[in-house]
Amino acid sequence: EVQLVESGGGLVKPGSSLKLSCVASGFTFSSYGMHWIRQAPKKGLEWIALIYYDSSNKYYADSVKGRFTISRDNSKNTLYLEMNSLRSEDTAMYYCAKSDGGYDYWGQGVMVTVSS
Amino acid sequence: DVVMTQTPVSLSVSLGGQVSISCRSSQSLVHNNGNTYLSWYLQKPGQSPQLLIYKVSNRFSGISDRFSGSGSGTDFTLKISRVEPDDLGVYYCGQGTQYPRTFGGGTKLELK
């Protein structure tokens, strides 16, 4: 059974940093691209980053480019999202998702709240 | 960026009825490799989104044949037949052809 479990969220002040993790199981993690997708409260879905299966390519939404960094450790089956210079508009549920034609599996999400 | 426009924003349906949701993209979603990366997702209340349809018309594993996707280029449709209570929630289309990846604004399916 495919499982994606995010962690690392919380309440932080504007300008702070946070690092999210997503531990994968039930599939060959090193063979698939992985994404981070977020959803602000009561809002729609916003794709924010993709990393190829071998970390050879990374893509970002303009809203996070230069502040967020996606990375992965295939030996630990873990995806990361390092978030710096956090803003109130980054407040959202953050999901990791596996890539295969579409986003075929999603984690349960982790909440990040940026507030003073 | 590719803008994904979903209509309607909300939809009321009777159990057992049929509905259609439209998704239009501002640019063609045909990839250089010939595939069209248009997917549909359902987010039930309090849950993560789940994949229903990928590459326009392919049902994901375990998805009922009551769900069907169609379309090409910039114009796509999700049809749900014989609506059941478990189908209620917000439906999103998403494109995986161009960067940045984008989603439609969502269509909320409610009971009439």
C-beta separation of B106 from B6 below 8 A:
yes
C-beta separation of A91 from A39 below 8 A:
no
* SS3 assignment, position B42: strand
C-beta separation of A92 from A41 below 8 A:
yes
Q: Do A102 and B41 touch (CB under 8 A)?
A: yes
For residue A68, the model assigns a pLDDT of: 98
Residue of A nearest to B37 (CA): A101
Helical (H) or strand (E) element with B41: strand B38-43
Residue A4 has what DSSP assignment?
Answer: E
For residue B96, the model assigns a pLDDT of: 97
Residue of A nearest to B95 (CA): A102
Q: Do B103 and A103 touch (CB under 8 A)?
A: no
- Please list the pLDDT of chain B residue by residue as tens digits (112 residues): 999 999 999 999 999 999 999 999 999 999 999 999 999 999 999 999 999 999 999 999 999 999 999 999 999 999 999 999 999 999 999 999 999 999 999 999 999 8
The count of residues in chain A is 116
Residue of B nearest to A36 (CA): B101
- Closest CB from B48, B53, B103 relative to A95: B48
Residues from chain A that touch B48, judged by Cβ atoms under 8 A, are 95, 106-109
For residue B6, the model assigns a pLDDT of: 98
- Please list the pLDDT of chain A residue by residue as tens digits (116 residues): 999 999 999 999 999 999 999 999 999 999 999 999 999 999 999 999 999 999 999 999 999 999 999 999 999 999 999 999 999 999 999 999 999 889 999 999 999 999 99
Residues from chain A that touch B54, judged by Cβ atoms under 8 A, are 100-102, 104
Distance from CA of A90 to the nearest CA of B (A): 17
Q: Do A59 and B99 touch (CB under 8 A)?
A: yes
For residue B43, the model assigns a pLDDT of: 98
For residue A46, the model assigns a pLDDT of: 98
- Closest CB from A35, A60, A102 relative to B51: A102
- How wide is the angle at C-alpha A72 spanned by C-alphas A70 and A76, nearest 5°? 150
Shortest CA distance to B80 belongs to which of B3, B29, B22, B24? B22
Sheet strands side by side (includes B67-72): B4-7, B19-25, B75-80, B67-72
For residue A89, the model assigns a pLDDT of: 98
For residue A100, the model assigns a pLDDT of: 85
Longest CA–CA span in chain B (Å) reads: 42
For residue B15, the model assigns a pLDDT of: 95
Distances (CA, A) of B84 to A108, B7, B20, B90: 24, 21, 14, 14
Residues in chain A whose beta carbon is closer than 8 A to a beta carbon of chain B?
Answer: 35, 44-47, 50, 59-62, 95, 99-109
**Cα atoms in the Cβ-side hemisphere of radius 13 Å centred on A104:** 17
Residues of chain B with pLDDT > 90, as a percent, come to: 98
